[in-house]
């Protein structure tokens, strides 16, 4: 119970910071829009790095890593051919599946989505993530032969 | 009595209700199981139709040889020269389920024969289907609607028809898996939980392993998600539920060897992939929109979604056209282009279950549910939430498919039960609330949500009273009584239909004698048992593909073709042998090592499902492969009639099938009076002669006739002249006038 409180208090605080910072960046973006699109992107990035909690950033780094792995696998498949097609599929769908599951975890643990996921606490979301990942890897190792 | 009321009003009323719920569900399961036992009680515990005989044989193999051998099973006793890689060409879910039950019962020291497990698997799973339907409907409305839906699906004849005891077919467990997967999907969507999504994927995997109809789920869930996106109901919950289902479910479905790479390669699965990509886009765009609250940016992104979606579907079309992705398979394509199968693939059109449904069939199979069904759909519209969209889509799609194909009535039945239960439970909610609002003031304050429905429901009688709502006991009682009567009649109808229409095994034919006692015609098993006992173990039997599984299962002999119609040319070869002259057929029989030929003939008994009535399909299938040698037109009289009597064409009279069916048949009747009771035709006075076959066995009622293929002639003559010589010689022994007869035979 106390741990939950610990978790919930920073999340609420971050959400408040999110709203304030986003409104601040909104004004910044509004002033920047007419000039050039790069400032918008820079604003997005600045906004992101300021408002996102540390754990979510960690998840995002993992997501980026998965994207890179998937792209590399696909590029290799395109270059070298797909002879053991099941091996390619197993590896590629492992990255895609893991990406999707991690993105789900990110969405579920995002405090802004709390109203959507009434019955899914962040701990529950993590347990779900572990459960799904285990199944995914079982299927993949079975499929790769 | 008073203590009972106190109990009900107590806090423990929840427990009482729970007890009642459990009791009702157990009773429903009991009713579902016991209404499926008619055929076991009347006849015996036996596997019924054609397909289940293969499933039964595979289950026996699984139980005897273990799972790994079953997985790698190469069956050399079917499709004779070719054999069949059984482990890779079947859905193993059914056999593995019954094998697991077999071993569990054995572990509990209850050694039950595998046959009894196979026979009673479908009734057992129908109980589980009732439970799954309860859970599904509970997500749609409330528990009372769930109980109603469970009761409906427990006894609805549309589902019983495919799940009576003894019909050991894939559908037996598939409908349970279908409903449970849908329940888990709805649950995952409502909670936005990856756990439920993963469970949904696991049961989807089980469903894929069990039935080819899993494609229905593969397209229903994406369609639901897509419609939700189009309605602007995208939510993070949808993303979580769909992607966790798709990622795990697709990977799971590829584990089944029969499915293999199909989820990547075939068009049936592309909708799921497309919606998966779409959801990624929508999810990303929502994420970005949350970051940047600019309005123009939002519209820009919406345009981006649209463009990417159009682009990806264009790529999909391109890939399909270029052949990277396989187009729709004929079986599924014929659902859209309903004339396709009849023109291009006669083997699909030849199955009686693939015909369109007539409207009495809907009433026959669903009785009152069929008119409550649209009302329930309407009520889903009036309380439109994410899960109701699913029922609506499912209802529309399933009713289309059931209209196109008789056998798909099976997938319609669950949604009809759910929807009818929603409608009926709405009615009961309104009209059963007698106690609470005795005075309108109290009623208005206590039940405001009920108040909204009241004017709509009793719009006819409401005008007289100044009070809005139905507080008069008379109207309540009238409506409730009417619906109770409907429900009772529903039960009667279901029991009657089950008992009379759907509980007859096709292996034994039952008829009634004039005194009302039952007479059983058991020719099939008589003949198959003859084959089993009196032929060498490696004898090859040629018959039409309908009987392939039964011969393999009951006679335990090698067959040329069977109900798994994976090689159309091979079936056409058998069709050609059956529909050509003896001289043409004999080399085919020799080339395929055929020892015995088996035909079904119903002319004596009036059994209409015999081979002469199926003959036209044999001709059509053979004509599809050898259009020059077999021509359908030749089997019709100049006036275009299909006849077997004197007016039959020469091609018809000389075909092997005609000769085998009517060989010696006229000997049963006084001269010149041979009568075919199915075709209602008087047969020619002189019966056909057979020179390449010997009659080996004819069952009691002449339903099954088995012929042995003659060896090559010792002196090297062809069979016709050898037979003529033999016949002439016999006659010349008896009388001196034999020479004329001999010459006559030579001329013919």
Of B248, B291, B293, the CB nearest to A132: B248
Q: Average the pLDDT over B135-160 and give the result.
A: 94
Of A116, A142, A143, the CB nearest to B235: A116
Q: Over 60: is that where the pLDDT of A97 sits? A: yes
Highest mean pLDDT: which of B2-6, B242-246, B353-357, B660-664?
A: B242-246
B236 contact A CB<8A = yes
* Residue of A128, A130, A142 best to disrupt the B interface, most CBs of B under 10 A: A128
CA distance B625 to B569: 7
Least confident of A32-41, B141-150, B351-360, B618-627: A32-41
Over residues B257-280, the pLDDT tens digits come to: 999 898 988 888 989 999 999 899
Tokens of B664: 């010696």
CA distance B302 to B282: 9
| Residue B481 pLDDT | 93
Does residue B141 contact residue B16 with C-beta atoms inside 8 Å? Answer: no
The answer to whether the Cβ–Cβ distance between B292 and A44 falls below 8 Å is yes
Q: Over 90: is that where the pLDDT of A43 sits? A: no
Q: Give the confidence band of B684 by pLDDT, cuts at 50, 70, 90.
A: confident
Least confident of A32-46, B119-133, B198-212: A32-46
CATH 3.40.50.12610 fits B521-723, yes or no: yes
Taking 3-state DSSP, the helix, strand and coil percentages for chain A, each rounded to the nearest 5, stand at 85, 0, 15
Tokens of B53: 């005989």
The answer to whether the Cβ–Cβ distance between B290 and A112 falls below 8 Å is yes
- Per DSSP, B710 falls in state P
B291 contact A CB<8A = yes
| Residue B296 pLDDT | 66
What ipTM is given for this predicted complex?
Answer: 0.82
CA distances (Å), B122 to each of B52, B175, B553, in order? 11, 10, 19
Q: What is the mean pLDDT of chain B?
A: 86
CA distance B527 to B507: 11
Q: Average the pLDDT over B6-21 and give the result.
A: 74
Q: Give the confidence band of A81 by pLDDT, cuts at 50, 70, 90.
A: confident
* Count of beta carbons in the 10 Å neighbourhood of residue B231: 11
Among B88, B657, B79, B627, residue whose Cα is nearest residue B346: B627
Minimal C-alpha gap between B51 and chain A (Å): 30
Start-to-end C-alpha separation, chain B: 94
Nearest CA in chain A to B254: A143
**Domain range summary for chain B, segments of one domain joined by +:** 169-326, 521-723
Tokens of A104: 């789900």
| Residue B746 pLDDT | 52
Does residue B243 contact residue B253 with C-beta atoms inside 8 Å? Answer: no
| Residue B470 pLDDT | 60
Helices vs. strands in chain A: H and E counts, helices first: 5, 0
| Residue B564 pLDDT | 86
Task: For B399-521, list the strands marked E by DSSP.
Answer: 509-512, 518-521
Tokens of B449: 């949500």
B19 contact A CB<8A = no
Of A14 and B733, which is predicted with more confidence? Answer: B733
CA distance B456 to B231: 27
CA distance B292 to A45: 11
Among B657, B631, B644, residue whose Cα is nearest residue B579: B657
Of A47, A100, A119, the CB nearest to B193: A119
Enumerate the residues of chain A whose CB falls inside 8 A of the CB of residue B296.
33
The answer to whether the Cβ–Cβ distance between B293 and A26 falls below 8 Å is yes
Q: Give the confidence band of B733 by pLDDT, cuts at 50, 70, 90.
A: very low
Over residues A116-134, the pLDDT tens digits come to: 888 888 899 999 999 999 9
Q: Average the pLDDT over A136-142 and give the result.
A: 94
Report the side by side order of strands in the sheet with B704-709: B558-559, B540-542, B596-600, B704-709, B693-698
Over residues A1-31, the pLDDT tens digits come to: 333 333 333 333 333 333 334 444 444 444 4
Q: Average the pLDDT over B174-196 and give the result.
A: 94
Does residue B325 contact residue B267 with C-beta atoms inside 8 Å? Answer: yes
Of B25 and B445, which is predicted with more confidence? Answer: B25
Among B684, B524, B665, residue whose Cα is nearest residue B607: B524
* Residue of B88, B139, B192, B277 best to disrupt the A interface, most CBs of A under 10 A: B192
| Residue B440 pLDDT | 45
Beta bridge partners of B518: B512
Give percent of chain B with pLDDT exceeding 70.
89
Nearest CA in chain B to A50: B291
* Count of beta carbons in the 10 Å neighbourhood of residue B219: 18
| Residue B338 pLDDT | 75
H or E stretch covering B418: helix B409-431
**Predicted structure pTM score:** 0.85
Of A52 and B397, which is predicted with more confidence? Answer: B397
Q: Give the confidence band of B647 by pLDDT, cuts at 50, 70, 90.
A: confident
Of A110, A127, A132, the CB nearest to B244: A132
Give percent of chain B with pLDDT exceeding 90.
54
Minimal C-alpha gap between B245 and chain A (Å): 10
Least confident of B61-75, B530-544, B659-673: B659-673
Q: Over 90: is that where the pLDDT of B10 sits? A: no
- Tracing tokens 């009495």 back to the chain, one arrives at B360
The answer to whether the Cβ–Cβ distance between A127 and B290 falls below 8 Å is no
CA distance B228 to B211: 27
Over residues B500-546, the pLDDT tens digits come to: 888 888 888 887 778 878 888 899 999 999 999 999 999 999 999 98
Of B731 and B123, which is predicted with more confidence? Answer: B123
B193 contact A CB<8A = yes
């Amino acid at each position: 119970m106390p741990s939950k409180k610990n978790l919930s208090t920073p999340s609420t605080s971050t959400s408040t910071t999110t709203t304030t910072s986003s409104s601040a960046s909104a004004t910044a973006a509004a002033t920047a829009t007419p000039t050039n699109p790069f400032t918008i992107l820079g604003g997005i990035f600045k906004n992101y790095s300021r408002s996102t909690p540390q754990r979510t950033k960690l998840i995002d780094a993992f997501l980026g890593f998965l994207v890179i792995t998937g792209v590399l696998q696909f590029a290799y498949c395109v270059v070298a051919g797909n002879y053991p097609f099941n091996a390619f599929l197993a590896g590629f769908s492992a990255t895609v599946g893991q990406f999707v599951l991690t993105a789900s975890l990110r969405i579920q643990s995002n405090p802004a989505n709390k109203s959507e996921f009434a019955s899914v606490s962040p701990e529950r979301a993590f347990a779900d993530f572990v459960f799904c990942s285990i199944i995914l890897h079982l299927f993949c190792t079975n499929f790769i032969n | 009595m008073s203590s009972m009321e106190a109990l009900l009003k107590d806090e423990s009323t929840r427990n009482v209700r729970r007890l009642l719920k459990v009791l009702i569900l157990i009773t429903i399961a009991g009713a579902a199981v016991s209404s499926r036992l008619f055929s076991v009680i009347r006849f015996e515990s036996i596997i019924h139709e054609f397909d289940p005989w293969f499933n039964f044989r595979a289950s026996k193999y699984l139980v005897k040889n273990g799972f790994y051998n079953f997985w790698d099973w190469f069956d050399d006793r079917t499709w004779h020269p070719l054999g069949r890689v059984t482990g890779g060409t079947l859905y193993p879910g059914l056999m593995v389920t019954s094998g697991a039950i077999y071993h569990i019962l054995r572990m509990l020291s209850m050694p039950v024969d595998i046959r009894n497990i196979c026979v009673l698997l479908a009734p057992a799973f129908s109980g589980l289907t009732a439970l799954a339907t309860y859970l599904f409907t509970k997500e749609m409305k409330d528990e009372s609607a769930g109980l109603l839906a469970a009761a409906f699906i427990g006894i609805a004849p549309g589902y019983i028809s495919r799940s009576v005891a003894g019909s050991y077919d894939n559908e037996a467990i598939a409908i349970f898996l279908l409903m449970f997967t849908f329940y888990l999907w709805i649950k995952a969507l409502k909670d936005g939980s990856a756990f439920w999504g993963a469970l949904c994927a696991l049961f989807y995997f089980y469903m894929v392993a069990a039935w080819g109809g899993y494609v229905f789920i593969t397209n229903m869930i994406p369609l639901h998600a897509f419609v939700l996106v189009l309605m602007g109901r995208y939510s993070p919950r949808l993303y979580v539920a769909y992607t966790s289902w798709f990622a795990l479910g697709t990977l799971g479905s590829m584990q089944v060897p029969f499915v293999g790479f199909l989820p990547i390669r075939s068009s049936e699965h592309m909708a799921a992939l497309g919606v998966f990509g779409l959801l990624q886009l929508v999810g990303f765009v929502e994420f970005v929109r949350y970051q940047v609250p600019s309005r123009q940016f939002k519209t820009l992104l919406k345009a981006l979604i649209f463009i990417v979606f159009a682009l990806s579907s264009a790529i999909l079309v391109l890939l399909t056209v270029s052949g990277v992705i396989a187009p729709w398979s004929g079986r599924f394509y014929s659902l859209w282009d309903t004339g396709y199968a009849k023109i291009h693939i006669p083997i699909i059109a030849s199955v009686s279950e693939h015909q369109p449904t007539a409207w009495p069939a809907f009433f026959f199979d669903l009785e009152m549910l069929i008119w409550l069904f649209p009302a329930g759909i309407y009520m889903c519209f009036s309380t439109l939430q994410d899960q109701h969209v699913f029922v609506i889509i499912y209802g529309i799609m399933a009713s289309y498919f059931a209209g196109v194909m008789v056998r798909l009535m099976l997938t319609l039945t669950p949604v009809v039960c759910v929807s009818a239960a929603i409608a009926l439970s709405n009615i009961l909610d309104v009209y059963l609330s007698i106690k609470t609002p005795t005075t309108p003031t109290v009623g208005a304050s206590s039940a405001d949500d009920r108040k909204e429905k009241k004017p709509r429901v009793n719009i006819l009688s409401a005008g007289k009273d100044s009070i809005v709502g139905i507080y008069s006991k008379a109207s309540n009682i009238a409506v409730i009584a009417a619906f109770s009567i409907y429900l009772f009649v529903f039960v009667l109808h279901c029991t009657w239909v089950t008992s009379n229409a759907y509980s007859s095994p096709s292996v034994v034919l039952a008829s009634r004698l004039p005194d009302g006692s039952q007479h059983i015609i058991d020719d099939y098993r008589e003949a198959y048992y003859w084959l089993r006992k009196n032929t060498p173990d490696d004898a090859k039997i040629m018959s039409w593909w309908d009987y392939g599984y039964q011969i393999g299962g009951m006679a335990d002999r090698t067959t040329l073709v069977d109900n798994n119609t994976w090689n159309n040319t091979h079936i056409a070869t058998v069709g050609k042998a059956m529909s050509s002259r003896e001289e043409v057929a004999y080399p085919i029989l020799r080339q395929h090592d055929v020892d015995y030929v088996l035909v079904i003939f119903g002319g004596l008994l009036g059994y209409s499902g015999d081979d002469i009535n199926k003959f036209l399909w044999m001709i059509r299938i053979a004509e599809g492969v050898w259009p020059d040698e077999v021509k359908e037109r030749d089997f019709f009289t100049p006036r275009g009639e299909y006849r077997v009597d004197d007016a039959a064409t020469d091609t018809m009279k000389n075909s092997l099938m005609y000769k085998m069916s009517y060989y010696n048949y006229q000997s049963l009747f006084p001269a010149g009076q041979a009568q075919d009771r199915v075709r209602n035709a008087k047969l020619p006075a002189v019966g056909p002669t057979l020179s390449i076959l010997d009659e080996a066995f004819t069952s009691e009622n002449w339903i099954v006739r088995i012929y042995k293929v003659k060896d090559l002639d010792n002196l090297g003559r062809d069979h016709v002249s050898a037979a003529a010589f033999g016949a002439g010689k016999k006659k010349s022994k008896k009388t001196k006038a034999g020479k004329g007869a001999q010459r006559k035979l030579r001329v013919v």
